[in-house]
Amino acid sequence: MAEHLHFVWEYNDRDREFWNEHFESRLPHSIIDAHIHLDRAEFHYEEMTEEMRRQYWVSEVNSPLTAEELDYADRLVYPGREVQHLVFGFPSLELDVDRSNDYVSVQATKRHWPALTMLIPQWTPERLEQELAKPNIIGVKPYYALIGRSPETRDEYLEANIFDFMPHPLLEVLNEKKAWVTLHVPKAGRLPDPSNISQIKELRRRYPDIILVIAHIGRCYSKEHAVEGISQLADDEGLYFDSSAVINPQAHTAALELIGPDRLIYGSDNPIFYMRGRRQIEGLKYINRTSYPFYFNKVREPEEVEKNYTLMMYEDIKSVLSACDSCGCGDAANIEKIFHGTAQRLITRAMDGKFA
């Protein structure tokens, strides 16, 4: 039996079988998903058009995820589990950031979830302090696209430096508040770009009380990027990485071999990875396969392959567990750290800083 999940996706018997085979006996009873985007269509200045969707594959598969829809999806995708989220809005100036940040705080408070506010780099320190004072806000979600709005491309500021969208006066506030920062690194070269490495090291040196979590393992979707980037930061035991959207057991294995299970935090990057399909890695690039006829999905796999697709968030969880097994850290205690324990410890630390 299939149940509507989100956007065009369904949850079906294949997904139930996949959960029971790979996750039911292994995932902890309590799970924290530390990378979730909440959104509402009315926050967006313009309605998504087909032309806009075709500019970038994420735009094609993405659709606003409300808190109520997330509650419903949790029941389906995490059966029998208690799920908590670290939530934030969709980081784009194509929407009303103020309304989005308010919505995230209100919905997180209702559900006793921690949340991050989207950080606008032009804010004054006083404005940031006001945002951090909102209920259940424990930190910020900076993003290079929040520097300025470009109707032509989402990557207008891809080559920005980290301190361009996290300026030092705001970092001083975040450090004083001992806040959580989930950082999506810039640059076409991803985490290994020399400027990323040097600025992350500078950030950690100058602002040691910030809880710094590097999103998507630094956008290291290949093993090569993961090894090159993480190896230069592995000796900083106070630096953390979230697993969201990587979907490559080799990249997860590289991360675990370099930093261990204590510094890897589970995140789904939903609603994007409710998508049904799988990811293939070719060199340093990835190809997303899905059974839905999106514009980007020009080369389809055979029907007998597509019928066995499950949710890509499940493929990502499976790749994390496979990497744990490959690294000899697949016992229940280490899996609990990745999917709950470390995030809970850091959330508690951020809450203590908020109310210090």
The enclosing H or E element of 334 equals: helix 332-336
Residues 311-352: tens digit of each pLDDT: 999 999 999 999 999 999 999 999 999 999 999 999 999 999
Residue 181, helix vs strand vs coil: strand
| CA geometry: angle 17, 23, 25, nearest 5 deg | 110
In the prediction, which pLDDT does 355 show?
Answer: 81
pLDDT in the model for residue 56: 80
* Paired residues of 125 in beta bridges: none
Predicted local distance difference test score (pLDDT) of residue 46: 80
Each residue's pLDDT tens digit, 39-71? 999 999 987 677 767 778 888 999 999 999 999
Pairing mode, if any, of strands 9-11 and 3-6?
A: antiparallel
Cis check for the bond before 271: say yes or no (omega within 30 of 0). Answer: yes
C-alpha span between 98 and 326 (Å, rounded): 44
Q: Using alpha carbons, list the distances in angstroms from residue 103 to 66, 110, 118, 125.
A: 10, 11, 12, 22
Residue 173 φ/ψ, nearest 5 degrees: -65, -45
The CATH number of whichever domain residue 182 belongs to comes to 3.20.20.140
Percentage of residues in the chain having pLDDT higher than 90: 90
CA dihedral for 183, 168, 207, 173, sign (positive or negative): negative
Q: Which of 91-105, 129-143, 153-167, 207-221 has the lowest mean pLDDT?
A: 153-167
> 205 with 235: CB under 8 angstroms?
no
CA atoms of 104 and 88, how far apart (whole Å): 6
For residue range 236-293, list pLDDT tens digits in order: 999 999 999 999 999 999 999 999 999 999 999 999 999 999 999 888 889 999 999 9
**Backbone angles phi and psi of 10, in degrees to 5:** -125, 155
Band the pLDDT of 119: cuts 50, 70, 90: very high
How much is the pLDDT for 263?
98
The count of structural domains within the chain is 1
pLDDT of residue 50: 73
Structural domain for 131, as ranges: 3-354
* DSSP one-letter string for 41-95: GGGBSS---HHHHTT-HHHHH-----HHHHHHHHHHHSTT-EEEEEEE----TTB
Instruction: Give the pLDDT of residue 188.
Output: 95
Return the amino acid letter for 340: H
pTM equals: 0.96
Contact 114, 105 (CB under 8 A): no
pLDDT (tens digit per residue) in 144-195: 999 998 876 668 889 999 999 999 999 999 999 999 999 999 999 999 999 9
Which stretches within 208-265 are classed as H helix?
216-219, 223-230, 249-259
pLDDT tens per residue across span 4-23 = 999 999 999 999 999 999 99
> What pLDDT does residue 132 have?
98
